[in-house]
Amino acid sequence: MKVSLSPSFEPVKAPGTEQLGAPLLHPDGPERVLGWVDGDFATALKPGPDTLFGPRGACLHSDGSLWVADTGHHRLLGWQSVPEADNQPAELLVGQPNFAHEGRNAKAQPNAHSLNVPTGVTEWRGGLVVADAWNHRVLIWHTPPTRHNQLADIILGQARVDEVLANRGADAPTGATLHWPYGVAEVDGRLVVCDSGNRRVLIWNDVTETGQPADLVLGQADFTSRDENAGGDVNAMSMRWPHGAVMWNGQFAVADAGNNRVMLWSGGLPGKNGAPCDGLIGQAGFADCDHNMVNYYPTAQALNMPYALAESGGLLVVADTANSRLVGWTEAGMAPPAARLTGQPDFASKGDNGWGIARRDSLCWPYGLGARDGLVAVADSGNNRVLLWKMAP
């Protein structure tokens, strides 16, 4: 189905300002659009092999496959190769008995392939990892599924396949429990989980069995704490709703969405629990946390609830979700300005789809990112679609 461009629009931006940036993604627009029927929200609500409802994660796997967390339909969709046409139907399904079915855990008892608000998706050591957020667990396949509802090989966060309570029903977490894990990533061969409800990031050096505890925690001083911003004011080690992580030019980066910033560790993955970061994107100081740096309008330095990160071509790609834009950085440090932009005409503009109707190249709350070989998969959650979009030259 051909997806047409909609009429032009007038974005909202700061009066008298115009901060132009070079394109981050190709100015001709996405190569493919998946799951979207222009202006027909009811279609997204009806599950099928070619529809999406609030997708929050996407993974371009090294084996050539594409995986999308179709969050609102509580399922994982797979394409054995990168789609060659708009709205191409998925071929693989995990989490529901068939493409027309929906419901949390398929409206049945939890098991090793059921899902409840799946979000982040990543490759890890050639396999596939999914953040099963509202089951408070992470599902791991040693190799990507090749058949419908293939059972996960390992589960983190729970001791058994039928257990789904936050922190396993306890008031305090441990190194083996999770509460709303929204983001997953492979960093230097290790598995990183953004354990958002516990306001921390957990890191496993290796994973060999279900229920295994993590080896390192960031955002908290120890594995049994879970207070917002570590129980105090925002600072260089604390977190509020961490959602995404990536390694970028030797910097370990975490999207700390609730503090409207990206935290940077210049030496890569830290070696001790609660290690403070030494750089920031989106805030001028470690004690700052307001969206858009206390302004209504964004700038090339500011962020508003950044949920996802990716690295492509040496650029740090940030899903600046509440500003409905993607922003690219070439430099680290303290509040460096971004160099590239997609989704808004300039750095001073904001608004879901530019406060207009959805266009092929507009964005509405981009929530997840995947990148490989110059192609970026954007989970354009508010538009119920995934965009496959090449990086700008």
Measured at the CA of 324, the angle between CA 20 and CA 52, to 5 degrees, comes to 140
pLDDT tens digits along 285-335: 999 999 999 999 999 999 999 999 999 999 999 999 999 999 999 999 999
Residue 181 has pLDDT above 90, yes or no: yes
Task: Quote the pLDDT of residue 40.
Answer: 65
Helix (H) or strand (E) holding 308: strand 306-312
Q: Which of 126, 130, 129, 131 is nearest to 143 (CA)?
A: 126
Under the banding of pLDDT at 50, 70 and 90, the label for residue 168 is very high
Residue with the two structure tokens 């070989």:
373
Output DSSP code: residue 157. Answer: B
Cα distance between residue 193 and residue 203, in whole Å: 6
Residue 8 has pLDDT above 60, yes or no: no
Under 8 Å between Cβ of 229 and 259: yes
Task: Quote the pLDDT of residue 20.
Answer: 79
Cα distance between residue 206 and residue 223, in whole Å: 18
Rounded mean pLDDT, 382-393:
97
Give the pairing of strands 216-218 and 127-132: unpaired
**The token pair that represents 158 in the structure block:** 């729970």
Task: Quote the pLDDT of residue 39.
Answer: 61
- Lowest-pLDDT range, 10-24, 48-62, 118-132, 199-213? 10-24
Task: Quote the pLDDT of residue 211.
Answer: 98
Helix (H) or strand (E) holding 281: strand 279-281
Q: Which of 387, 388, 383 is nearest to 324 (CA)?
A: 383
Under 8 Å between Cβ of 200 and 218: yes
Task: Quote the pLDDT of residue 18.
Answer: 56
Under 8 Å between Cβ of 32 and 382: no
50 phi, psi to nearest 5 deg: -125, 20
The length of the chain is 393
Fold of 17-390: Neuraminidase (2.120.10)
Cα distance between residue 54 and residue 313, in whole Å: 28
With pLDDT > 90 as the criterion, what percentage of the chain qualifies? 92
Q: How far is CA 108 from the centre of its chain?
A: 27
Under the banding of pLDDT at 50, 70 and 90, the label for residue 11 is very low
- Mean pLDDT (the chain) is 94
Cα distance between residue 294 and residue 376, in whole Å: 30
Cα distance between residue 105 and residue 120, in whole Å: 17
Task: Quote the pLDDT of residue 300.
Answer: 97
Which segments within 10-135 are labelled E, that is strand? 12-13, 22-23, 32-34, 57-60, 66-70, 75-79, 92-94, 118-124, 127-132
Under 8 Å between Cβ of 110 and 135: yes
Q: Integer distance in angstroms from the first to the last C-alpha of the chain?
A: 28
pLDDT tens digits along 207-252: 999 999 999 999 999 999 999 999 999 999 999 999 999 999 999 9
Q: Is the dihedral of CA 45, 47, 52, 54 positive or negative?
A: positive
Rounded mean pLDDT, 75-97:
98
Bridge-partner residues for 154, per DSSP?
Answer: 140
Task: Quote the pLDDT of residue 6.
Answer: 34
